[in-house]
Structure 1
């Protein structure tokens, strides 16, 4: 499970106490988003230092991994900052989130994300949703060649996950399972997503 705050802004770093309580109550793997604000994915030095501090704090709680992504002004992957955060997060795995959907060159950026040491790439195939991005997702899975997990996400629902799996051969999928205008996952949608993957 990816844990974040402010889902309407695309997700930001959750409160430390919220993470602690979630870990106490749920006995499933929890990945915490590290994102200091909504908006773009280019961060100031102060924001980067905040991200470092948050990773260090959450590591002490026993989370299972982290989700983040930093770009340069020119929409390329920031190799230095991402690599530093991945290294800081060790031994916990890191997922590069949908900042990837804003990159200027998809397959060059895939190689950059791999170079940084991420274990997973969450993407809609650089399109508004996974259905529009399905051809790019297919190529990403192929080019990744098991060097990184490609996780389709963005508009993923129970009514399209089976087709997406058949066409992309991705091993993992990401969905908010929100079916209305709230910020709460629909339990029936969660069950339908799981059953359509079996």
Structure 2
């Protein structure tokens, strides 16, 4: 049976995902950036209110995954905070200028997270050579790799995901990006061990007063009266499908 990880943006999402049957949570902020490091308050709140394993993302900004020394120092401070709160794992990824794993910076990450399960996130999908990256991440001792198979969705990238799974000696290959109830069978049939899904949706803000024409976002088209949440019914349905006996 494949494990189901749900990407959650905030404590409310995390509590919803746990109640709906998620096996593990990737905790993030900033959904429109693809996930950034959560705040100290969110980390503390989730640590005290969620009982299933939670792996916070450590990502200091949006954009590429090639970080300066100053950015790495920030990441290491965040890792120390997450580690000291007692989280069992974290999610991160660092690349060099040529699209390879930045071994030196990732070694610093691994040293800062002793005993923690480190997931190398979809920075993997931006690597120039996924097979070389797999070997490097194996040597570094990461616990798992989150990947869409270097395609726009994991369903489209299932061929590479399957090949990585067959080649991997140690890291678990976790499929993510566009994983939904309607395509779970693709991953089940391929024998994928872990699945990552946002199972998310945007809902309307409860605010009745709305000041039109003024935006707080750099994206003038952004809807600031829409809120991201985890869809409990979607999580529960995916979990049920993954636990259903094979006939």
Normalising to structure 1: TM-score of the pair? 0.96
1:120-145 per-residue CA deviation (whole Å, 9 max, x = no partner) reads 10000011101110100110100114
Partner residue in 2 for 1:67: 91
Count residues in correspondence.
196
Q: Which residue of the partner structure matches residue 119 of structure 1?
A: 143
User: How far, CA to CA, are the matches of 2:41 and 2:108 in structure 1?
Assistant: 25
Unaligned 5+ runs, structure 1: none
Could you tell me which residue of structure 2 aligns to residue 39 of structure 1? 63
Cα RMSD (Å): 1.1
1:173 equivalent in structure 2: 195
TM-score (norm. length: structure 2) = 0.77
Q: Which ranges of 4 or more aligned residues in structure 1 deviate by more than 6 Å?
A: none
Equivalent residue number for residue 78 of structure 1? 102
| Higher percent of residues as helix | 1
**Which residue among 164, 183, 195 is the counterpart of 1:160?**
183
Structure number, greater radius of gyration: 2
Deviations 1:78-98 (A, max 9, x none): 111112201210111100000
**1:188 equivalent in structure 2:** 233
Deviation at 1:179, TM superposition (A): 4.2
What is the distance in 2 between the residues matched to 1:148 and 1:58? Answer: 22
Residue 29 (structure 2) pairs with residue 22 (structure 1):
no
**Shift, 1:18, TM fit:** 0.7
| Residues 32-53 of structure 1: CA deviation (Å, up to 9, x unaligned) | 1000000000001100000011
